[in-house]
Amino acid sequence: MAKGEIGWTRKTADGERVFVYVHMVGDNWKFYFRKSRNERWTRLETPPLEDWIELYHCMQKLVARKRAEPAILVKLRKRIRELFPDAEI
């Protein structure tokens, strides 16, 4: 992963481990995933809510460490509300 990317590992409903990474291009967030280190990254066109929430938590940590601007949390929260109106953040 490059310096401006954020990544984590999660488990699918089948219990399979998935690597996820995200980077911001302009005002858009691009999500990618792969199931093992040997696979190529695949673009995730419609990321699930749990990935958006994890991204939000990662960005909160970066803002707390002063490695990101607080305004990015506002934009990210707005984007999550657009995609998932019933979600609580």
- Can you give the pLDDT of all 89 residues of the chain as single tens digits? 556 789 999 999 999 999 999 999 888 999 999 999 999 999 999 999 999 999 999 999 999 999 999 999 999 999 999 999 998 88
Calculate the average pLDDT of the chain: 93
Query: Do residues 50 and 33 lie in contact, with contact meaning Cβ atoms separated by under 8 Å?
Result: no
pLDDT at residue 63 in the model: 95
Lookup: tokens for 79: 């984007």
Residues 6+ apart with CB under 8 A from 17: 9, 10, 11, 35
DSSP letter assigned to residue 35: S
